[in-house]
Amino acid sequence: MFKTLTVLATSALLGAGCAHLDAGGIVAGATTEAELRAKLGAPGMSWAEPDGGKLLEYSGQPNGTYCQMILIGADGKVREIRQAYSEANLRRVVSGLTGEQVRRLLGRPEETLRYHFRPDEEVWAWRIDDTVEKIVYFNAYFGRDGRLLRSERSVVYRTSGPTLN
């Protein structure tokens, strides 16, 4: 019994660290990039914006279901915080985009892979929802030229009921 409780408590604590980003207290127009980095640490990726600002990626992949794309203005202050896996943002992932363009929209994928039966395609997968019943992935398929061919969602349903050990 104690072993089971210990495993459950440890799993809950580990999962809690990966499940969300504590962006509380970060205010667009007020919080500086230095304050942001002090609170959240180094971003997973940073891109220069044409206006002199930056786009910073804070991703929970491979185990979390969030990715915050935080836009820093040329003045060094947070301009916008976007949830990369919002429905509106997922709709922006359209055929013809490059891998770099998709990465700027969705952040680092959970995994990239090639299937033996389709060696000319590379698949990027993001875990966008994870519940007790299922895990939802957003998948992007890139051709040999590095451009997006198509995207889709896939759902992996968890088993339910008793397990036999």
Give domain 85-165's CATH architecture. Answer: 2-Layer Sandwich (3.30)
Tell me the sheet residues that pair with 127.
137
Q: Would you report the helix, strand and coil content of the chain in percent, each value rounded to 5?
A: 25, 40, 40
Can you give 22-86 as a three-state secondary structure string? CCCCCCCCCCEHHHHHHHHCCCCEEEECCCCCEEEEEECCCCCCCEEEEEECCCCEEEEEEECCC
- pLDDT tens, N- to C-terminus, the chain (165 residues): 434 333 333 333 333 333 445 667 899 999 999 999 999 999 999 999 999 999 999 999 988 899 999 999 999 999 999 999 999 999 999 999 999 999 999 999 999 999 999 999 999 999 999 999 999 999 999 999 999 999 999 999 998 766 666
Q: What is the pLDDT of residue 163?
A: 62
Q: Give which of 21, 19, 127 is closest to 70, Cα–Cα.
A: 21
Rounded Cα distance, 81 and 55, in Å: 10
List the domain boundaries for the chain. Answer: 21-83, 85-165
Q: What is the pLDDT of residue 16?
A: 37
Residue 138 corresponds to which amino acid?
Answer: F
Q: What is the pLDDT of residue 98?
A: 98
The gap from C-alpha 4 to its chain's centroid, in whole angstroms, comes to: 31
